[in-house]
Every structure is written in structure tokens, then in C-alpha cells.
Amino acid sequence: MDIKSLEEKRLAIEQPNPFPLDALPEEIQEMIQTYCTGLNLNVDYSACTVLFTYSVAMGSHYRLKIKNGWIETGSLFMALVGKTGVNKSSPLSIFTSKLEKIDKDLFREFDKNYTAFINQDKTDKSKPVIAEPIRRQLIIKDATQEALLKGLYDNKHGFGGIYDELTSFLNSFNKYKSSGGDEELFLSLFSGKSTSVTRRHTRPLYIEHPFLSIIGTIQPEVIVSSFGNNRVENGLTHRFLFAYPDEVLRDDLSDEDVPDDILELFGFVIDRVLKPEMLTGESFTKTLVLSKDAYQYYKMFRRRINYIINNQKSSAISGIYAKLDTYFLRISLIIHMMRLSCSNEGINDHEVAAGSLERAEKIINYFTNTALKVFALLERHRDPLVDYPQEHKMIYYQLPAHFDTNQAWEIAKLKVSRRTLFNMLNDDYLFTKIRRGVYEKIW
């Protein structure tokens, strides 16, 4: 992978790179802006968490059919990236609070029914036997692979994984299984493909349409250990969307507050998507299609993506665009449901219109930039001299942090030619030119 090409591609998209709030319905824009102003929240983190919340509210019940045999849901894997202290957790907490409330109510109902199940008098034949209740849930925060799959089996709607520290979640993979398999499971769940579970001493499970969305916060300095190495190779990193603002500053406390009607708005629009019956059993499944104009819009978008992939030598960069092609359709579906929940005037509830795809493309451009930013960060931490012969490595390690060309030649003259040395000094991945004849090592 070429670090320079990564940076050039990122910078060519747009600088600066704020989240395109205008891609969301006006009601959602106003809500996010009001919260961000009143509570000093970051727009990128807030908007991305709102997308996640809609995704979980939709679950497996809303699907987008592109062609026969090709169906997408609104499943999202998201990471909110920022240094410690920039308040990533507040947007996550605020904009998932509706999901948390529903999940708490579901647990209270389960707890009541489970208590009745445990305390029933089985010797009293005059009373009907109370069956063991099913644990309905909308949120998951910590679970073994077996518990996760059992939860998905019991909850056809699916659920959202919320992790205040995404690194802890990723580091927990295979924690309870020495044989591994957690990463492979999440790769499969991302695709929504059916999965079956056969374990000794437990009932076999078959999950036809598993649905899982994930969101969590992470610091830039631990991205390398959490998303690098084999997670790039197996594609897990490519499956994450990154909310990664270029700069997040702590502001003075705002004198404004969030009005009551804004507090109620988000809960209201989520209720229009997430019906109670969706959480209590099979319920309905609504499959939407692309309108004719939307289908043509997607063909043009895909043609552009294909050109990039087909002409890109880096498999890492190709992987970014391949997954963003998938996410383009998923976010288009989410935008459609957002528009429908806010105001259904002129919105066909059976077809996703080209207008929703146009909005989704703005968001995809944002996530393209942030993905390239993350992969540039990953690449910087690989061995910077991996492609150089041993003599060059020896020269680099012997050079001081700051040096001039005379010092460099004294170190290199017994190993390489002067021309070879200057070719090496021109590698801006290894050196920064301070001024004529003076350099600084990057690593």
C-alpha cells in the first residue's frame, strides 16, 4: 500500500470533511443541531449515532431488494474516533437513549414473567402451566458467542451492540473460546446470511435472517492495535464506518438548553419506525425496492466505484470502496426510513427514491474520506523500511533525528552510492526536508 496515494485520495475528496448534515431530513438536522449547540456535542458523532439508532429500530424488518437474490438491510458497524476527553460518549448515550429505554422495558417485562415462571406451583393442576418466557431485547453490550447467537435466535428483529470502549469489545474476541471464531462470526453477521448453531447438550439453532448493528468509541492511538494487521486482511476493518472529525475542540459551556419538544421529537420518529409487535415475535417484514430513477442512480454510482476498484493496485483501498458500495445501499434505505418517519408527504413507502440515494452519496463521501484517513494511520505504523534492502535500513537507523546531507554521506558512503543516498532522502515517507540540505527522520 502506498501511504502517499492514501493521503492524496483522502485530500482530493474534500477538506475539511464535516459530516453532511444536509443529507438528513430537516427535522433530524434541527434536532442534532439543537442538541449539539445546547450540550456542546460534536455533529459527526451525533449524526452517526442517529444513523445507528435508526438502523437498530429498523432491524431485520425493513429490507431493500436490489434484484432477486440480492437484499440489503440497514445493518451498520460504526466507530466514533477521537482522542480522550473530546466527549464521544455523550452523543452515544443521548441518541441511543430511546433504544435503551425500550430495552429496559423489555427486560422488566421478562423479569416479571420469569419470576412468575420460577414461583409457579407446578403441583396445582387447576392452574395453567406458565411457560419459560423468552428474553426479548434490543441492546447487547457483553455476551459470549453462544449467548449472542441465542439472543439473535430469540429476537428475530435483531439488536444493536453499544460499546463505550470499542477496543475492549474487539479485544474480547475469542475470550471465551480458545479455538477462536468470533471474528468469523461477526464477518458473517455483517452480511446478514443465515447461520446455524450445533452444540453438544444444547438445542440446535437456525437463524434465517440475523441482524446486528454495532457502535462504539475508540481513540486514534489504539486504532492500529484494534483494527490493524489481520483485521485488515480478513476484511473486518473494511466493514466499519468511521466517524472521525478532522478536529474536535472543547467549547465553553453553552447558555442554551434543549427544548422539551426537541427531547420528545426523536422518540416520536423512532416510534414511527419501531413498532412494538416487531419485538415480540415474527411480525411483518417489509421489503422495499429501488424506483426506476434510483436504480439508474445506483448504476452510475456503482460504475464510478468499479472504475476505482479496477484501477487500484492496493487491495486495502479496493476493499474500502467495495464495502462502501454495500453501505451506499444500506444508508439509502435508512435515509428513506428517516424521511418516511419525519414526513411521508411525497414519499412512496414501497420504493426508495433517487433523492434518498443522492443524500446517501453525500454521507458515503464522508465515510470514504474517514476510511482513507484510518487506513493512512494504519499504514504509517507498519514497518516504514519493509521494501528497502538491509544496507538502507542500516543507514536509516544510524542517522540522527535531525541531520544534513554531509552527515548522511559520512554514514552512507561505505554502503551505497551518493545517488542512491539522495534517492532515499527523497522518500517523503521516511524523511521530512526542513530546508535545503537539512532533513528530519519521520520514524
> For the segment 129-146, what is each residue's pLDDT rounded down to a tens digit?
889 999 999 999 877 788
**Residue pair 363/23 in contact by the 8 Å Cβ criterion:** yes
Phi and psi at 226, nearest 5°, equal -90, -35
Contacts of 280 by beta carbon, 8 Å cutoff, 6+ apart: 136
- Integer-rounded Cα Rg, in Å, for the chain is 26
Q: Can you give the pLDDT at residue 185?
A: 87
Q: What is the pLDDT of residue 314?
A: 79
Which position has the higher pLDDT, 378 or 303?
303
**Higher confidence at residue 70 or residue 225?**
70
Report pLDDT for 26.
94
User: Distance between CA 170 and CA 225 in Å, rounded?
Assistant: 10
DSSP 3-state assignment of 197?
Answer: strand
- CA–CA separation, 53 vs 153, rounded Å? 21
Query: Over the chain, what is the mean pLDDT?
Result: 88
CB 44 within 8 A of CB 207: no
- Of residues 32, 40, 45, the one with CA closest to residue 370: 45
- Reading phi first (left if > 0) and then psi (alpha if -120 to 50, else beta), residue 403 is in beta
Contact yes or no for 60/274 (Cβ under 8 A): no
67 pairs with which residues across the strands?
70
Q: Is 90 exceeded by the pLDDT of residue 105?
A: yes
d(CA 196, CA 149): 9
Task: Look at residues 35, 18, 20 and name the one whose alpha carbon lies nearest to residue 95.
Answer: 35
- Tell me the CB-side half-sphere exposure of residue 346, using CA atoms within 13 A: 4
Whether omega before 220 lies within 30 degrees of 0, making that bond cis, reads no
Instruction: Give the Cα separation of 166 and 164 in Å (integer).
Output: 6
Q: How many Å apart are CA 162 and CA 418, to the nearest integer?
A: 56
- Relative to beta strand 286-290, strand 62-67 is parallel
288: pLDDT strictly greater than 60: yes
At residue 160, the 3 state secondary structure works out as strand
Which pLDDT band holds residue 163 (cuts at 50, 70, 90)? very high
Total Cβ atoms within 10 A of residue 342: 20
Q: What is the mean pLDDT of residues 373-384?
A: 78
- β partners of residue 290: 352
**Residue 12 scores a pLDDT above 60:** no
Q: Please identify, in words, the CATH class of the domain defined by 3-380.
A: alpha beta
Q: What's this model's pTM, rounded to 2 decimal places?
A: 0.82
Maximum distance among all Cα pairs of the chain, rounded to whole angstroms: 99
Proportion of the chain above pLDDT 70, given as a percent:
91
Q: What pLDDT was estimated at residue 102?
A: 95
Question: CA 21 to CA 34: how far, in whole Å?
Answer: 13
Say if CB 383 and CB 392 are below 8 A apart. no
How far is it, in rounded angstroms, from Cα 62 to Cα 364?
A: 21
pLDDT tops 60 at residue 178: no
Whether residue 362 has pLDDT greater than 60: yes
Q: How far is CA 409 from CA 46, 210, 299, 416, in A?
A: 53, 62, 56, 9
Tell which wins on pLDDT, 130 or 289.
289
**Around 64, how many Cα atoms within 13 Å sit in the side-chain half-sphere?**
29
**129: DSSP letter:** P
Q: Alpha-carbon dihedral of residues 72, 91, 27, 356, nearest 10 degrees?
A: -20
Return the pLDDT at 3. Answer: 47
Interatomic CA distance for residues 214 and 240, integer angstroms? 9
- In this predicted structure, which of 40-44, 417-421, 425-429 has the lowest mean pLDDT? 425-429
In angstroms, rounded to a whole number, what is the distance separating the alpha carbons of residues 44 and 342?
Answer: 21
Residue 386's pLDDT is: 67
- What average pLDDT does range 244-249 have in this prediction? 84
> How would residue 5 be classed by pLDDT, with cut points 50, 70 and 90?
low
The helix/strand/coil state of 131 is: coil
Q: Are 242 and 367 a contacting pair, CB within 8 Å?
A: yes
Report the distance separating Cα 338 and Cα 418, nearest Å.
63
Given a cut of 90, whether residue 216 has pLDDT beyond it is: yes
- H or E stretch including 159? strand 159-163
Mean pLDDT in residue range 247-262: 80
State the virtual CA torsion across 232, 237, 238, 244 in degrees, nearest 10: -130
Instruction: Give the mean model confidence (pLDDT) for residues 360-364.
Output: 98
68-103 b/e with 16+ CB inside 10 Å = b? eeeebbbbbbbbbbbeeebbbebbbebbbebbeebb
